[in-house]
A and B are shown apart, each in its own frame.
Chain A
Amino acid sequence: MAEPQRARPKPTPETQHFWDGTKAGELRLQRCDACAHVYFPPRPFCPSCASRKVSIFKASGRGFLYSYVINHRPAAPGFTPPYAIAVVELDEGPRMMSNIIDCPQTPEALELDMKLEVAFQELDDKITLPVFRPAKG
């Protein structure tokens, strides 16, 4: 029997651009053309003012550690505990859930407000996940 796999996202028409972006090494967000609101997760209208005129843009990939847990048990399929499940606040404003790589998964190493930068983790030929690592410098 194959090892249980990590949950894999399945894009929808509204989110395809995001997953195309991560595959190309870009973190893509959306900005409202009417009110300039930047939002996530993806949708073809502005959740602040309801305008359907919105644009996709490449985000800086920079942010900071907003909060997290270090999950010990039960572990999700495909994960070896303990591992941090983090929420990152992006410089552009939106927050997203992620994992923190290149960093010990300990309370000492994972300091709230630490600067982070995006990295890309290829799950298969269809899906590349955005994850974050401590920012250099």
Chain B
Amino acid sequence: MRKNQVAVVGAAETTELGIIPNASQLQLHADAALNAIADAGLKLSDIDGFATAVETPQQVCHYLGIKPTWVDGTSVGGCSFMLHVRHAAAAIEAGLCQTVLITHAESGKSMIGKLPRSTPPDSLNGQFEAPYGVYGPPSMFPIPVLRFMKTWGITHEQLASVAVVQREWAAKNPRAMMKDPITVADVLNSRMIAYPFRLLQCCLVTDGGGALILTSADRARDFPRKPVYIMGTGESVETPMVSQMETFNSSRAFKTAGPLAFKEAGIAHKDVDHLMIYDAFAHLPLFGLGDLGFMPYEATGQFIADGNTRPGGKLPLNTNGGGLSYMHSGMYGMYALQESVRQMRGIAPAQVPNAKISVCHGVGGMFAASGTIVFTNER
């Protein structure tokens, strides 16, 4: 895909974030969509392309009253929205549609109108993982951590520092769910969830949503907001079974999606001003820093513990507070994308001064899928 041919011209989250007891999941999609449409200065009838995950495109399009000529229902977990951005950019460039709306919403906490997630007993996961007591992401996502730690010499304290640093970012963000400062000791003394991970190393569970609007870079000039260009994109999938990953020392999906996006953007790591790495759990930023090629895996834990990713550090990471402290409805990728767009527009609550290139890296399932988007505010 050619770089900077498509831009984000509308971006918004749901009016409320956190605990939203007065709206269904479907209504949260609509709330985010209407906010993004207002942000872009568009009408619903201007939307001719639509993408969403978990909910079907027909469900959300009908509810909103949209009549699309292009839809994408790619649903690979929390990074689905990174893949939607990639697919939408390709569709716009190919002339299949002009203006694409991407929505996410999840009533992750209040569970109103939330679709059930189930593992059929005759699926491969149902036969070869479920019988061993996996029960939700906290029991599965950290399974690779101990091997990763042993191979690369990562310490429990370093993994705890991920949560500490992200809380520092969250403290600057009025919409963050958790803002009180925490220490490494607080993390290591918090309630055990699934050894080696404790409560403060696991994501929040909240309600919310977000929406993006994309159009061609040429048309983007006429919109009210500063366009944020799609500079590079990548995607991949590996396996729905965490036990069947090629290795626990890295993620194959990350190692495929990330470098693809860097190559398409034509950038080097030193060019990155701002970075988002989907942090459902505290180990993901370490995998991300290694798999995306920022540094050797051995260096990732110390890099974060030394404060390089904190406010004022040389590589600002997860500047909204992340899934650990900002919000996590279940599929966090949309919120990472929203933060990258805010940073590129220059309006983030914890704005990185003069940031020109933002890399936004997502995960789906337990390292099952991945999508990476490189954004820039300069064409």
Contacts and interface: CB of A to CB of B under 8 A. Distances in A.
A76 B127 contact: no
A12 B141 CA distance: 26
Contacts of A97: 128-129, 132, 134, 241-243
A78 B193 CA distance: 18
Contacts of B193: 72-73
- With most chain B CB atoms within 10 A of its CB, the pick from A73, A107, A123 is A73
Interface string B128-141: 11111111101110
A72 B195 contact: yes
Interface residues of A, number: 38
A136 interface: no
B127 to A, nearest CB: 4
Instruction: Name the interface size band of chain B.
Output: 35 or more
A67 B142 CA distance: 10
Nearest to B136: A74
A69 B196 contact: yes
Interface string A2-36: 00001111111001000000000000000000000
A103 to B, nearest CB: 14
A111 to B, nearest CB: 10
B127 A10 contact: yes
Interface in B108-129: 119-122, 124, 126-129
Interface stretch (B50-58, B98-106, B144-152): B144-152
B124 A7 contact: no
Interface in A86-137: 86-87, 95-99, 107, 112, 123, 129
B146 to A, nearest CB: 5
* Majority-rule SS of A interface residues: loop
B133 A9 contact: no
Nearest to B120: A10
Nearest to B194: A69
Interface in B246-263: 248
B126 A67 contact: no
A87 B133 CA distance: 12
12 contacts: A9-B131, A68-B143, A69-B197, A72-B193, A74-B136, A76-B135, A76-B139, A85-B132, A85-B194, A87-B143, A97-B132, A129-B131
Interface of A: 6-12, 15, 40-41, 66-79, 82-83, 85-87, 95-99, 107, 112, 123, 129
Interface of B: 119-122, 124, 126-136, 138-140, 142-147, 150, 191-197, 241-244, 248
